[in-house]
Amino acid sequence: MQIYNTLTRRKETFTPLDAGRVRMYVCGITVYDYCHIGHARVMVAFDMITRYLRWRGFEVDYVRNITDIDDKILKRAEENGEPIAALTERMIDAMHEDEGRLGVLRPDREPRATAHVDDIVAMVQRLIDKGYAYPAANGDVYYRVRRFEGYGKLSNRDLDDMCSGARIEVEVAKEDPLDFVLWKAAKPGEESWPSPWGAGRPGWHIECSAMSTCCLGDTFDIHGGGPDLVFPHHENEIAQSEAATGQAYVNTWMHAGAVRVDHEKMSKSLGNFFTIREVLEVHAPEVVRYLLLASHYRSPINYAPDALGEARRSLERFYNALQSVTPVEGDVDARHRERFVAAMDDDFNTAEALAVLFDLARELNRAKQEAPERAPALAYELISLGGVLGLFEQAPADFLQAGAGQLPMTEEEIESRIEARAQAKKAKDFATADGIRDELAALGIVLKDSREGTTWVVEGG
């Protein structure tokens, strides 16, 4: 199995520290607002990775943290006039609801920053004792960036270039403009915890260093996150963790690609910012998941109506192939599974894996016509391999006819109109047949003709 390592900037053979076991940490959400479609990309990508590793026989310990204390959280709670704990619990519940609808399995552990303050304080003290950090006159504690020899190795940045390109700030408490905060002194009235340096709260970067090592050890196999975290967050994690423990922090760094909206960076200021729940009000969850898997996890994704439409049509092809077949485990050509494994072993290449599944769906369609006895086993294989990606977990009719309950016709009435159309076509009354098709289309019911007959789907799903 080959995985692209952001640290070395190349694909490497993946060999876990402990044979058969993978320890993986992914940076989670700062819970002050609803999750957006960029969060969904990371959630789905590492859900897919976890599912595949387990399917390949690895025991996976998947840890994804929750940042439940942060400047943004304090500000939002004040704006809302609600306690911090009430805000964070509400947003955590919403996050779990959103990811559940997208078919994202819960991680094995979800450590919260507020539950690890003692561990964070201990790590900060260790860094001070080793000379990598210092308490400042303003009550904050800072990390000495220049003290860590390997700083910049993940993001491939040079310290002098970073300093010359940095925005100049008046910060008399820092020894060096590049130093970053490990512990923030509390302002009057703010949520705080006791520490040797006074009441305060953790800096964002130190949270993940403390939680990951507490859960997975000083060195672990995979650390993942979004593309915006490479610098400074993950760079700072390396500096903190390796200075504190004296060990290599992570063997393989993985980063999902960005989500762009109509080929532009997603931004509230541009008015193209979408929460997961806003998206799922319009589009079926599996359609959104498929869109997020159709591209390689490291590639940028363009979120746009035409892309979602193509994702919907792709899923319809799979579910139409599975329709009217009862899956039964049996003998099938092993080459489909071998090609699927080869694609996924090549840095989780879901785009190529889906191409294999399309080939399998085409073979299933042929078998339904030419060798019906082979169809159940092919359908079983298609569902099994699709399930590795978290796809095809619905009954075909449930997907294809989702939204039928909101139509002005019952399913029996729709089927009756389809039968009337079939009789009209048989009698060569094509005007009547076309009229029935147009009548149903006006109601959002799309007919799909094939050699097996006519099926229907609800437009847009």
Known binding-site residue numbers for Zn(2+)? 27, 208, 233, 237
Q: Which residues are annotated as a binding site for ATP?
A: 268
Q: Which residues are annotated as a binding site?
A: 27, 208, 233, 237, 268
Give yes or no for a cis peptide into 327 (omega within 30° of 0).
Answer: no
Give residues with Cβ within 8 angstroms of 402, minimum separation 6: 284, 458, 461
Burial 323-335 (b: 16+ CB within 10 A, else e): bebebeeeebeee
CA atoms of 461 and 458, how far apart (whole Å): 5
Residue type, 26: V
Whether 232 contacts 18, CB under 8 Å = no
Tokens of 425: 């076509």
Task: Find where tokens 């369609």 sit.
Answer: 365
Tokens of 41: 């990309």
Which residues of 169-237 form beta strands (DSSP E)? 180-185, 200-202, 220-225
CA atoms of 226 and 127, how far apart (whole Å): 27
- H-assigned helices in 29-176: 37-55, 71-80, 84-101, 117-129, 159-165
Whether 135 contacts 75, CB under 8 Å = no
**Dihedral angle, C-alpha 347, 350, 352, 356, nearest 10 °:** 130
Count other Cβ atoms within 10 Å, centred on residue 108: 13
Tokens of 15: 């060999």
Give the helix/strand (H/E) hosting 342. helix 334-345
CA atoms of 98 and 102, how far apart (whole Å): 7
Which residues of 147-296 form beta strands (DSSP E)? 180-185, 200-202, 220-225, 250-255, 259-261, 264-265
